[in-house]
Amino acid sequence: MWVASSTASVLTPTNVALGKFDGVHLGHQRVIQPILQSAPNEDREMRVWGDEGNLPQNQGTPQPQPQETPQPQPQERTYSTVVTFRPHPQEFFTGTPRTWLTPLDEKVQQLRSLGVEQLVLLPFDKELSALSPEEFVDKILVQQLQCQRISVGQDFCFGKQRQGTAINLQLIAAKYNIPVTIVPLQTHTNHLPDGELVSLPPISTSLIRQSLENGDVKSANLCLGRPYTLFGIVIQGQQLGRTIGFPTANLQVPSDKFLPRQGVYAVRVYILNDTPDASVPQWILGVMNIGNRPTVNGTNSSVEVHLFDWCGDLYGKKLAVQLMEFLRPEQKFVSLEALKTQIQQDCTIARKILSREC
């Protein structure tokens, strides 16, 4: 059984955005926005409750912003709070581990950047899954979180066997005088090569995952509102790239991170734990391969990055690798020389793509 801290530990009262929020994509950001608007003009450090031993540490407390005009009778302080579930309900019911677009540390970073003050990880267990919609509102939202305002997406479902809908939540919460904002699904458009504007399906986590599985990085990034990024530590590899003139950094990515389609990508890389150096560009351009390296009879999947015009020791460094465009699927070549020729072509194409993007 997964164990998390009690919801009795949270800062209350709260303004709550409810959902799974994997990816923190543009649709999620719209759901979160209503709970931010009602918060006072004051920055607070995000607090995260769950399995504290595995959570990232906060990085300092932002300074409060000056208030314009003091109110003679200030309203009670409420905390903008994202409430989600751990483990993912699908993982709980199927027993199959799930990979995430945004594992916990990434989710915290994204929510903090939006101005969210608190993340509550509800332990999704047998007890929680058995609550009726009415019981969930009363026990969790009212009694434990002292919720003052709620925001959910149009497709939000909750309670036993997902019986509750967003409209149900609105009706139940009204009995406690809690307003509920139902945010419509967000859609976006795309331009075809002939200039025609085409409406795409509503933004969702499943749509982003499907796009990444297909190597459609542009569509995934459009839904996310930012490039899909892999974070990892550079570890010792087989160093085969050096023998053909293309040294690579072997990236150890968290096991619960969702990996896109195997193949070669044009990427931008940032060395996270380096001291800023004015002589070194913030983003280093390069190509990345995800796959089993069939040309050298590889058996285990790996993530390897070749940086353009870079020389230095990266072992032990943490990299952020932004996926900008999918170049080609992984393939087996007849010789290392054929592989070298293809990598040269990949680098040439990636440089052209990245020169337009950067």
Residue-wise pLDDT for 152-193, tens only, equals 999 999 999 999 999 999 999 999 999 999 999 988 776 666
The pLDDT value given to residue 274: 60
How crowded is the C-beta side of 17, counted as CA atoms within 13 Å? 29
Domain shared by 46 and 158, yes or no: yes
Q: For the chain, what is the domain count? A: 3
Show which of 153, 183, 213 is a domain's final residue.
183
- 282 and 243 both lie in a single domain: yes
- What value does the mean pLDDT of the chain take? 83
Residues 171 and 113 in one domain: yes
State the pairing for strand pair 189-191/197-199: antiparallel
Q: What is the pLDDT of residue 3?
A: 28
Question: For residue range 277-318, what is the model confidence (pLDDT) as tens digits?
Answer: 555 557 899 999 999 865 555 557 889 999 998 888 889 999
In this structure, the answer to whether residues 175 and 236 fall within a common structural domain is: no
**Are 22 and 136 in the same domain?**
yes
For a pLDDT cut of 90, what percent of the chain falls above it? 58
Q: What is the structure's pLDDT at 43? A: 44
pLDDT at 286: 96
Q: Which residues contact 323 (CB under 8 A, 6 or more apart)?
A: 217, 220, 221, 227, 228, 229, 230, 260, 265, 267, 288
Tell me the torsion sign for CA atoms 103, 106, 112, 114: negative
To the question of pTM greater than 0.85 for the whole model, the response is no
Report pLDDT for 241: 53
203 and 337 together in one domain: no
Q: Are residues 212 and 331 in the same domain?
A: no
| Structural domain boundaries, residue 314 | 227-357
- Asked if 43 and 179 sit in the same domain, the reply is yes
What whole-number distance in Å separates Cα of residue 276 and Cα of residue 290?
Answer: 28
Do residue 152 and residue 274 come from a single domain?
no
Q: Give the tokens for residue 282.
A: 């913030």
Residues 178 and 207 in one domain: no
Domain match, 221 and 331 both: no
Q: What is the mean pLDDT of each run of 10 residues along the chain (358 residues)?
A: 54 93 96 78 44 40 40 68 89 89 94 93 90 96 95 94 95 97 87 70 95 96 96 81 73 95 96 66 89 62 91 90 96 82 93 86
48, 152: one domain:
yes
